[in-house]
Amino acid sequence: MVDNMYYTTGTTITWEEMEEVIRFLDGIEDGVRHYHSGTTIGPYVPLAHILNMRNINKKYLQIPRPCVPPQMPANGDMQIIVHDKTNFTGTYSTSADDGCVFINGWKHLLETYHIEIGDRLISVLHHGPRGPFLF
């Protein structure tokens, strides 16, 4: 999965940080089993992103089209999984212009955690029989 990671503009990961990224990606299937989200529909494309003003001030997260599973519905509910004990339900919608997914439930994460502009986010969007999950 690391080979096909999508990096937003300006996002870099050092070799030392890559070990943590690999550990996270290796644990995705454990999360899928834990939340009974079912077998993925489509390949995973992990996202590496530096949080910007739009993510923090406007309180939404945009997932680029290459990271969105192809069979995912255009809008609906999404589970946002931070770790075993913290998850949120939010809504998402797909942009007709470029196919990016806007996650409106992102604001719940901002209200719970101290997240700042410049922090890095590594995530995977999973779509299975129980709908989309953002890990």
**Count of domains for the chain:** 1
Question: Per-residue pLDDT tens for 48-67?
Answer: 999 998 888 777 889 999 99
List the CATH number of the domain containing 48: 2.40.330.10
Helix, strand, coil percentages in the chain from 3-state DSSP, rounded to 5: 25, 30, 40
pTM of the model: 0.82
pLDDT tens profile 67-82: 998 888 999 999 888 8
Q: Decide if 22 contacts 6 (C-beta within 8 A).
A: no
Q: What is the domain extent for residue 81?
A: 2-134
